[in-house]
Amino acid sequence: MNVLTRKLLLTGILLTAAQLSVANTLSFSLGTGYPFFVVPEVSLSSADNSRRWHLNYKAGLDDGFTIGVEQVMFDSQQHAMGAVIGAIGIREEDTPCDDIPSNVGCIVATIFDEETVNGAAISYGYYFNGLNSSGWHVKFEAGYGEGSQSKEKRASASIRLSYQF
């Protein structure tokens, strides 16, 4: 993790810790998506249920942690916008297709990249039963960061479907 990402992650943790005194409910969710295949998450809701802070671990062909916050957009509490710091996607600098004997192998190598992009992103989530209620939700994240191995700066995104218990 680069210095900028560490500073952003530490800032996010400190801001979250400052808000924990107004937290209400601890929740757990488990999701899957692309490019991260398994995403367990722990979250704390605000006392008025309009906001949630979350920490998750994203595992795929590479992995990473993310910390973030979401705020509901409407009274229905189904739409939420947020910000995250940490693992925002997985990318590969160059797919080595010259070393792969078949086109199918090259396609598979291109789809399943292997470098986590760490940085900052915005998120949009749709919660079928409301932000801090049990049930399914879909989340999109898009942002900008640095490759964990190549150190190349780039945009990245992810999508996932999760169930909040």
Q: 96 preceded by cis ω (within 30°)? A: no
**Hey, is 4 helix, strand or coil?**
helix
Beta-carbon contacts of 144 under 8 Å, excluding residues fewer than 6 positions away, are 119, 120, 121, 153, 154, 155, 156
What does each of the 165 residues of the chain score in pLDDT, given as a tens digit? Answer: 566 666 666 666 656 555 555 556 889 999 999 999 999 999 999 888 899 999 999 998 889 999 999 999 999 999 999 999 999 988 776 666 666 667 777 777 666 657 899 999 999 999 999 998 999 999 999 999 998 888 889 999 999 999 999
The amino acid at 70: E
Q: Which helix (H) or strand (E) holds 136?
A: strand 135-147
The pLDDT assigned to 60 comes to: 87
Q: By the 8 A CB rule, do 131 and 45 touch?
A: yes
Query: Rounded to whole angstroms, how far apart are CA atoms 14 and 30?
Result: 25
Two tokens at 82? 């947020």
The pLDDT assigned to 90 comes to: 84
Two tokens at 3? 């210095």
0.85 surpassed by pTM? no
What does the domain layout of the chain look like in residue ranges?
3-164
